[in-house]
Amino acid sequence: MTEQKDNNRFQHRVSLLESHIGFKLETILHHALRARDSYTLEHSSRVVSLAEVIGNHLKLGDHDMDVLSLAAGFHDIGKIGIPDNILLKPGHLSGDEYEGIKAHPSIGANMLRSLGNQLLDEVADCVLHHHEQWDGKGYPDGLKGEQIPIISRIISVVDAYDAMTTTRSYRQQINKEDALKMIKSESGKQFCPDAVQVLLEICQDGKRPLPK
């Protein structure tokens, strides 16, 4: 069922992009990312799914929902440009390696902007800022609070939630309740309070099982 839903979302993004730029960009990038780093592809697909739920709760309009879906799907596409010894390293990154991986939002934004399409320019802005933090301590530009596009703020929270609840080679996943507690403790610091509140509401109102 989830696989079917993911497939429907993927097909929606394929059609959306095809109608805007005339070729199957989503399909091309999907295969490129799968070839490079299948974890990032699966992670991005889960981020789309939960980001869309949060976007709906925040009552984003249709256009912003389209930008959100595309930006969530492409948020880490710039990792295609990160060397294997950093991207696929089975352990903690050194300071220099971490600096290298911090280039991925700019690489991704530049890839999307290179197509010269208005919709993808908007998506690129949101991809560029998905590692900014509410308190201004993020990257690449150190934007603060509402200077950060709302779409990037939503992706940031969902990205962290999915990363925490998934096992990677260098760390074990934590349970969903503990992940939500950690995210709540970063509300107004790393994360946008509105996006955190909606994530907590949809996970804790008893009407919806914890995502994933």
For Fe ion, the binding residues (CB under 5 A) are 76
Q: What is the 3-state secondary structure (H, E, C) of 66-132?
A: HHHHHHHHHCCHHHHHCCHHHHCCCCCCCHHHHHHHCCHHHHHHHHHHCCCCHHHHHHHHHHHCCCC
Nearer Cβ to Fe ion (76/122) = 76
- Which residues face 187 on adjacent strands? 191
- The distance of closest approach from Cβ of residue 66 to Fe ion in the complex, given in angstroms and rounded to an integer, is 20
Residue whose CB is nearest to Fe ion in the complex, by number: 76
Nearer Cβ to Fe ion (37/76) = 76
- The distance of closest approach from Cβ of residue 4 to Fe ion in the complex, given in angstroms and rounded to an integer, is 27
Nearer Cβ to Fe ion (44/187) = 44
Q: How far is CA 105 from CA 56, 76, 125, 154, 186, in A?
A: 25, 7, 9, 15, 22
Calpha distance 122→64 (Å, rounded): 9
- The distance of closest approach from Cβ of residue 152 to Fe ion in the complex, given in angstroms and rounded to an integer, is 10
- The distance of closest approach from Cβ of residue 76 to Fe ion in the complex, given in angstroms and rounded to an integer, is 4
Nearer Cβ to Fe ion (21/163) = 163
Calpha distance 169→50 (Å, rounded): 23
